[in-house]
Copies of this chain bind each other. A is one copy, B any other.
Amino acid sequence: MSKSNNVYKDAYNRGLRLLDETKSLPSEPELGTLLGVSRTTIRSILARMEETGLIAWNKRSKTVLRVPRPDDFFPEEETDTLSQIIERSFMRRLLAGGAEPGMQINELELAREIGVGTTSVREFLIRFSRFGLIEKRRNSHWVLKGFTRAFALELTEIREMFELRSAAAFAALPEDSPVWADLDRLEDEHRLLAREIATRFNEFSELDERFHRLIHRASHNRFIVDFYDVIAMIFHYHYQWNKAQERERNEVAVAEHLAYIAALKSRDLDKVDAACRKHLKSARNTLLNSIPEGHQP
């Protein structure tokens, strides 16, 4: 087994959803751009759809014969990328405890435990190293630096520096920039979520990421934009890990976002600065509170 066909399976599942809406499918290249895969993969998908009696396929004509059933879909877990699988396993280990700072990380052991090749684990660790949680010893093992208080403080220091600058850049953007429409849309989504916060509070984290990414993009600086990957990754796992007072925390955050948005729309740099600072401060506290106070110097 040298490479799983998760790209095919994932695209197939997404392709099935298209069958609900139309009576016949578009051309192969069009399907390719729609699903974000190559024609080669599209043709495999079409071949299977034909086999399972979902469509009749003859050259250009691709007629939908029936609506897909639940069992037509590939199981969710077969559609994951290998690196997603490795990341999840790795983060589970890291957060599940017993992960003391200074601990060694063993590529071979990780690979065996997850059931993948060493190459994939190595590549994952190299990619992951930019998050600042692990470090490589030349010709030797990786060392876990740990999700410590120091880490959180260093991370938020940069975040605050970058976001204050991005927010200022955002507010200075011309009237006709399309970002203002994006911001309006996000504001509506925030209003909606605020109204139904009691039941939908767990949808906040996704909205949070979209909002902050929009702001960071105004910096027009690849290093600032890319750094948000670190923040997003940490917050993603942090949200999964720490569910304490999630509803209250998110309710506060939504309100802060709305104030932040209002400040941006006012284009008053002082107001923007204040609203941004206030929100980032509470985000930092949330993060710091979730870190188990350990044996740290």
Contact = CB atoms under 8 A, between A and B. Distances in A.
B122 A223 contact: no
Contacts of A165: 161
A297 to B, nearest CB: 13
Contacts of A157: 221, 223
Contacts of A145: 222
A237 to B, nearest CB: 18
Contacts of A158: 221, 223-224
A interface, by DSSP: helix, strand, loop or mixed? helix
Contacts of A123: 122-123, 126
A240 interface: no
B126 A223 contact: no
A130 interface: yes
Nearest to A119: B119
Given A119-B119, A132-B226, A161-B165, A221 B126 contact: no
A225 to B, nearest CB: 9
A151 B165 CA distance: 18
Interface string A133-174: 000000100000100000100110110010001000000000
A108 interface: no
A45 to B, nearest CB: 15
Interface of A: 7, 37, 119, 122-123, 126-127, 130, 132, 139, 145, 151, 154-155, 157-158, 161, 165, 220-224, 226-227, 230
List 4 A-B pairs, minimum CB-CB distance, nearest first: A154-B221, A158-B223, A132-B222, A126-B126
13 contacts: A37-B139, A119-B119, A122-B123, A123-B123, A126-B126, A132-B226, A151-B222, A154-B221, A154-B222, A155-B223, A157-B221, A158-B223, A223-B230
